Amino acid sequence: MSKSEVIKLTEEFIKIPSVSKDGNEAITDKLEEIVKSFNFVCERYSFKDRFGTTKHNLIAKLGEGKGGLGFFVHSDTVPVSDDWQGFEPRIEDNKLFGRGACDMKGPIAAALLAIKGLKAKDLKKPVYFVAVADEEWGLQGAKQLSRSKNMLTSNSWPDMGVVTEPTGLIPVYAHKGAYQIEVTAHGRAAHSSTDLGKSANFMIAPFLAEMAELREKLMVDESYMNHEFTPATNGFNLILNDYKTAHNVTAAKSTAALNFRTMPNSREKDLVDYIEERAKSYGFDFSGSGVAAFYTDKNSEVIKLALAATGEKEAMTVPYGTDALIYQPFLDQVVLGAGNIEQAHTVDEYIDIAELERSVGVYRQMIEDYCL
Ligand SMILES: [Zn+2]
């Protein structure tokens, strides 16, 4: 059987390595070349990551006016492993194997073929294609994009978005966000034989005991849960750091990093306020920050559009995070793409060929229903 266009394009993308740490210039050049050939107007924003590597975000638009539908992709992938070089695609059992096959070079190819052949004069609302760097590295590309004054102050921003992460082609209306807290106790370093020191580890211990109790409570108290998600609990976790203090030295500093997943109506403010109050009662430093869960109203137009195009009856939630967290203040979004998230980030990553082919039509239908 001859290969479909979406398979050929996905293979082409897999052959262009774009592991987060190595950069995404070559793949961004390719994406820009393709959308330009579709007569999209392109803007490219570059930034330096924390190691000084230049990364690239691409925004492409076809058509005039406000609002419209955007396809939001990330062009980076997680690394390959020593025993698996994923940059040579191969087909087996109706599956396409390769690094990024489902996360998300396959879905990128599907979005591109869905926007191929559109004519600006036929569009009632514009269509966008947005490809960012470093989703796999703390959503850094999307964060850069959302900070870009140019995008936020201009009228040129779609009012609906499809984040094309693998969801088995079932519309996703929500996923959890995240909150991080750091609590630090300061002691005094001295040789433990002298009794002159004050161990920050012993100082923080009673606070840690309280956090252990709190975790027990979070596992049973329904008011901190949200049963739209699986699991319904917030994954409260604790990591400790005493900065590699030697065994015969009293720790000068001890830090407890607490983190949990944010969900709507799960009392996250109460939780943060309580932890802050307890930390400060011991005189410890406290800092915290987080992102709200991604949540789109199930009855919103973008969810209805996605349900109509896929033929699904109900949208679902997923446990993993996406760039939708960052774009959320600016537009209504659905997470929707071919492929199984369990296949992402693994050795021998693959995407189901039939599902990938079907996703082109799903995206195209959404454009037809909203923009044409
Ligand atoms: Zn992804």
Give the Å distance between the CA of 246 and the centre of ligand 1: 41
Domain 177-291 has CATH 3.30.70.360: yes
Give the Å distance between the CA of 123 and the centre of ligand 1: 29
Whole-angstrom distance, CA of residue 191 vs CA of residue 321? 45
Q: Which residue has the higher pLDDT, 163 or 147?
A: 163
**pLDDT given at position 168:** 97
If DSSP states are collapsed to H, E and C, what string results for 143-207? Answer: HHHHHCHHHHHCCCCCCEEEECCCCCCCCEEEECEEEEEEEEEECECCECCCCCCECHHHHHHHH
Give the Å distance between the CA of 105 and the centre of ligand 1: 9
Q: Residue 216, Cβ neighbours under 10 Å: how many?
A: 10
**pLDDT given at position 237:** 96
Q: Is the pLDDT reported for residue 151 higher than 80?
A: no
Give the Å distance between the CA of 319 and the centre of ligand 1: 13
Give the Å distance between the CA of 356 and the centre of ligand 1: 15
Q: What percent of the chain has pLDDT over 90?
A: 89
pLDDT digit string (tens) for 29-59? 999 999 999 999 999 999 999 999 999 999 9
**pLDDT given at position 319:** 83
Q: Is the pLDDT reported for residue 211 higher than 90?
A: yes
Q: Is the pLDDT reported for residue 171 higher than 80?
A: yes
Give the Å distance between the CA of 212 and the centre of ligand 1: 33
**pLDDT given at position 320:** 86
* Cis, peptide link before residue 151, omega less than 30° from 0: no
pLDDT average, residue stretch 275-301: 96
Q: Name 54's bridge partners.
A: 48
If DSSP states are collapsed to H, E and C, what string results for 341-367? Answer: HHHCCCCCCEEEHHHHHHHHHHHHHHH
**pLDDT given at position 212:** 98
Give the Å distance between the CA of 343 and the centre of ligand 1: 11
Whole-angstrom distance, CA of residue 91 vs CA of residue 232? 38
Q: Using alpha carbons, select from 81, 100, 95 the residue that is nearest to residue 16.
A: 100
Give the Å distance between the CA of 121 and the centre of ligand 1: 33
Give the Å distance between the CA of 74 and the centre of ligand 1: 7
Give the Å distance between the CA of 279 and the centre of ligand 1: 36
Give the Å distance between the CA of 337 and the centre of ligand 1: 10
Give the Å distance between the CA of 13 and the centre of ligand 1: 14
**pLDDT given at position 280:** 98
Give the Å distance between the CA of 215 and the centre of ligand 1: 30
Give the Å distance between the CA of 194 and the centre of ligand 1: 54
Give the Å distance between the CA of 66 and the centre of ligand 1: 28
pLDDT digit string (tens) for 309-354? 999 999 999 988 899 999 998 899 999 999 998 888 889 999 999 9
Give the Å distance between the CA of 107 and the centre of ligand 1: 10
Equal CATH topology for 5-175+294-371 and 177-291: no
Give the Å distance between the CA of 104 and the centre of ligand 1: 5
pLDDT average, residue stretch 216-227: 97
Whole-angstrom distance, CA of residue 106 vs CA of residue 130? 15
**pLDDT given at position 341:** 87
**Superfamily (CATH H level) for 5-175+294-371:** Zn peptidases (3.40.630.10)
Give the Å distance between the CA of 111 and the centre of ligand 1: 14
- Grade residue 152 by pLDDT with cuts at 50, 70 and 90: very low
Give the Å distance between the CA of 61 and the centre of ligand 1: 22
Give the Å distance between the CA of 257 and the centre of ligand 1: 26
Q: Is the pLDDT reported for residue 134 higher than 60?
A: yes
**Domain ranges within the chain, ordered by starting residue:** 5-175+294-371, 177-291
Q: Is the pLDDT reported for residue 149 higher than 70?
A: no
Q: What percent of the chain has pLDDT over 70?
A: 98
Can you tell me whether residue 281 is helix, strand or coil?
Answer: helix
- Grade residue 142 by pLDDT with cuts at 50, 70 and 90: very high
Give the Å distance between the CA of 169 and the centre of ligand 1: 14
Give the Å distance between the CA of 284 and the centre of ligand 1: 38
Give the Å distance between the CA of 293 and the centre of ligand 1: 17
**pLDDT given at position 1:** 64
Give the Å distance between the CA of 172 and the centre of ligand 1: 14
Give the Å distance between the CA of 135 and the centre of ligand 1: 7
Mean pLDDT of the chain: 94
Whole-angstrom distance, CA of residue 189 vs CA of residue 187? 7
Give the Å distance between the CA of 329 and the centre of ligand 1: 20
Give the Å distance between the CA of 103 and the centre of ligand 1: 4
**pLDDT given at position 303:** 98
**pLDDT given at position 345:** 85
Whole-angstrom distance, CA of residue 14 vs CA of residue 12? 6
